[in-house]
Amino acid sequence: MSRAVLRPAHARAKLVAAPALSYDWGMDEIELKFVSSAEQTAALCTQVPGLPGLVTPPTTRLLRSIYYDTPDQVLRHNGIALRLRFDGAGWVQTVKAKNKRHGGLHTTQESDCPADGETLRLKLIPDTGLRDRITALCRRRDLAPICETRMERTAALVDIAAEGRVELAIDRGEIRAGERCEPYHEVELELVRGEISALFTLTARLFPEGGLRFAPISKAARGYMLAAEGRIAEPPAPRHAHPVLLTRKQTGQTAAREVLRECFDQITQNIDTFRDRDDPEGAHQLRIGLRRFRSASALFRPVIGHPNLTRLRAEARWLSREVGLLRDLDMALTDLLAPEAEACPEEPGFALLTDLLAPRRQTQRDRVREVLTSARTQAFLLDLARFIETRGWLRPDDFAQDYRLSRPAKKLVRRAIHNRWKACETRAEGIETLSIDARHALRKELKKLRYAMEFLAPLLPRKRTKSALRRLKRLQDVFGELNDLSTVERLLLAPDAPGRRDPDVQRAVGRVLGSHRVRADLRWAEAQHLWQDLRAHKPGP
């Protein structure tokens, strides 16, 4: 931190003992945060004065926030942010802890008190639990500034009829750490009172055109990252599925919520990745995230079934289809054509076919990017987050629902896995003679079984589940290759297929399909063997 930015940057912050004040500003803060562009924040600032439900005229002020920690960053490692902020009227000392992010929401334990200039007074922290913990963590350690934010904040209170009151904050400014400085824009909606649904209602009203990005981390975390790595955000990268940490004491409702949150995170993070970079894996993982959500919603339908869930499943299916064609083109060019072209450099048709398919892939990629920034996709994400975080499955007129919601999650496991397994057995009947369409149907049921077992793994016998999942994955890999061949055949033999009248291209198509049909025959024989092996080690609780 430069001397011009923070006067105490190269000196240790003075910890002044003072008697605890009689008031307590502690609270749990619930916010919905979005990363925005300069254009978005500028447009929003002009929109605020005319917002329906505006309680007070918007005000604009400068906020300077300085974040402190020990040299080894013991506070950060313990999930605590310690801040001094000047808001134009005076200094405020704030402690934030237990920051949790679910469905785009940030829920934080916060404790504030007035500060005497740029001087930390740990004994003034109103929350005694936080005060004792920070005091213990920082004992014999000096505190010094790590980073700071300087924001121009435009804020207003907005009433959402029958839902609650929300504070809208539009931040435009920069994040600093030492000599490093990065611009940053963010929109925060904080629940002042009422229902969480008010946050989502106001968001939809503010951004009807789409294109929003959820903010995955706080400004403080970005400042720490700037100090350590010279950047304020992680590089975009495909986000794979993560295990869900269920427990046997959870109810079916809470288990469903945790699983849906994981699906939501995989979907939203891969949407952001796809918007920022041309990585085929991003589209692939987005499609997986959408499929996992649909599988999870079917798995937990007995507990959280609701017309809104049915509608969200339909939207996920629509979005998956939009991404699917791009995924097929990526697979054809990268996984099938590229290896064949490398193996047969004397065959000119491969280069010609690649040149014909590449523009089609780029056109589809541009189309998918438009879809992912559209109002429809944003509405799907906001509605999904609202459904998860407000328990949108509750029905006041369903008197039997309380019983279903309160049942332990472990009670659902046996029936859920049994039903998924029976569906696989039904589809696999007469496996030796299955048609291409029937194989595809079996593949989908196997995938649903695998997702269900991955979601419920903490509630299943560990060794048996691990063994079954390993077998399922091998079987799915084989079915995936068979499905890829079927997809490429449709793509290259369709009436509008590229190069249909070019003999060189058609010769290349023949070589690709011929070699992969031979491989498919071998893989299909392997699939039958793997299925029999899986039956011998039937998965389940």
pLDDT tens digits along 327-371: 999 988 988 888 888 888 888 898 899 999 999 999 999 999 999
Residue 403 confidence (pLDDT) above 80: yes
Please state, in angstroms and rounded to a whole number, the distance separating the CA atoms of residues 104 and 197.
Answer: 13
What pLDDT is stored for residue 291 in this prediction? 97
Q: How many helices (H) and strands (E) does the chain have?
A: 17, 9
What share of the chain has pLDDT > 70, as a percent? 95
More confident call, 399 vs 450: 450
Q: What is the largest CA-CA distance in the chain?
A: 89
SS3 state of residue 170: strand
pLDDT given at position 17: 31
User: What does each C-alpha distance from 223 to 34, 99, 132, 217, 259 come to in angstroms?
Assistant: 17, 16, 25, 10, 31
How far, in Å, are 54, 131, 256, 389 from residue 197 at the CA level? Answer: 17, 32, 19, 8
177-202: per-residue pLDDT in tens?
Answer: 999 999 999 999 999 999 999 999 99
pLDDT value at position 317? Answer: 97
Q: How far is CA 403 from the centre of its chain?
A: 31
Whether residue 379 is predicted with pLDDT greater than 60 in this model: the reply is yes
pLDDT at 23: 30
Distances (CA, A) of 476 to 190, 421, 450, 540: 44, 14, 9, 18
Share in percent of the chain as helix, strand, coil (round to 5):
55, 20, 25
Q: What pLDDT shows up at residue 26?
A: 45
d(CA 301, CA 312): 13
The answer to whether 371 and 293 are in contact (CB under 8 A) is: no
Structural domains of the chain in order of their starting residue, each with its CATH number: 27-229 (2.40.320.10), 252-536 (1.40.20.10)
Give the per-residue pLDDT at 19: 30
pLDDT tier, 142 (very low <50, low <70, confident <90, very high otherwise): very high
* Alpha-carbon gap, residue 488 to 274, rounded angstroms: 23
Task: Answer whether residue 436 shows pLDDT above 60.
Answer: yes
Return all residues near 229 (Cβ < 8 A) that are at least 6 apart: none
Residues with Cβ within 8 Å of 366's Cβ and at least 6 positions away in sequence, in order, are none
DSSP 3-state of 169: strand
d(CA 406, CA 180): 51
pLDDT band at 391 (very low <50, low <70, confident <90, very high): very high
Instruction: Round to whole Å and give the CA distance between 65 and 153.
Output: 12
How does pLDDT run across 86-141, given as a tens digit for each residue? 998 999 999 999 888 887 799 999 999 999 888 999 999 999 999 999 999 999 88
Residue pair 161/91 in contact by the 8 Å Cβ criterion: no
Q: What is the pLDDT of residues 465-520, one digit of tens each?
A: 999 999 999 999 888 888 888 888 888 888 888 888 899 999 888 888 887 788 88
The contacts of residue 328 (CB under 8 Å, 6+ apart) are 487, 488, 491
- Digit-coded pLDDT (tens) for 270-298: 999 999 998 899 999 999 999 999 999 99
Flag whether pLDDT at 393 surpasses 90: yes
Predicted structure pTM score: 0.90
Please, are residues 253 and 247 in contact by the beta-carbon 8 Å criterion? Answer: no
Over residues 24-65, the pLDDT tens digits come to 344 589 999 999 999 999 999 999 999 999 998 999 999 999
